[in-house]
Structure 1
Amino acid sequence: MHRFKDLEIWKRSRIFCSKIYAETAKFPENEKFGITNQLRRAFVSIPSNIAEGSSRASNKELSRFLEIAIGSAYEIETQLLISNDLKFLEFESLESLLNELEEIIKMISKFRSTLKI
């Protein structure tokens, strides 16, 4: 069992959530229940899955939850690209978010690879 609050990937992904909330607040009001909601839910999923996996009794279970978090990250990447296509995100914001997301994916993948399953 890992203390999720001590994990840098959990801290970083949690902070990243506030950035996506700030960006999606700029999206059109008619997207409130569309891509805005979808993006926010997917972002919250990353630190939530890290936390839930950390509570599990085995590294195998933790690894599975980290895999789900990575899946959410790729879902987010797709949604960010679509948001940019729809002109909801400026290119600079997109680049910044994608770069940070890539770093989080790398951190999760590296942590996952260190687990003895």
Structure 2
Amino acid sequence: MRNFKELEVWKESRILAKDIYKLTGDLPEDEKYGLVSQIRRCVISIPSNIAEGSAKDSQKDFLRYLQISLGSSFELETQLLLCNDLNLLKIEKTKIHLEAIELLQKRISSLIKYVKTQI
């Protein structure tokens, strides 16, 4: 079992989740059960899967949860881009978050590569 609280990707994903929750507050009320709900679910999925995977006994299981977390980050990126496409959020508001997501994706990918060497 690993201590997920020591993983930088987990710490960064928690910060991102908090920031995204604030950002989605700017979306229209009629998106409350649409994009807002979906965006919040997937951003919460990122640190949650890192934490859950760290409790697994095998590196292979941990790897699978990291991959799920990475997938959620790409889902989040897509949803923010769609918000821009639909003019629900201004590009200036999402740019910093999109950059943070891309950096987190690189870091999760690096951790995945490292874990693969441990299998």
TM-score, length-normalised on structure 1? Answer: 0.97
Any gaps of 5 or more consecutive residues in structure 2? none
Deviation of 1:27 (Å): 0.5
Write the mapping of 1:1-117 to structure 2, written as runs, cut at 5 A. Answer: 1-115=1-115, 116-117=118-119
Deviation of 1:112 (Å): 1.2
Deviation of 1:83 (Å): 0.6
Deviation of 1:11 (Å): 0.5
Deviation of 1:77 (Å): 1.0
Distance 1:27 1:12 in 2: 23
TM-score, length-normalised on structure 2? Answer: 0.95
> Percent same amino acid at aligned positions?
47
Specify the code of the residue in structure 2 equivalent to 1:45.
Answer: S
Give the 4+ runs in structure 1 shifted more than 4 A.
Answer: none
Deviation of 1:4 (Å): 0.3
Any gaps of 5 or more consecutive residues in structure 1? none
Aligned length: 117
Distance 1:91 1:31 in 2: 18
Deviation of 1:93 (Å): 1.8
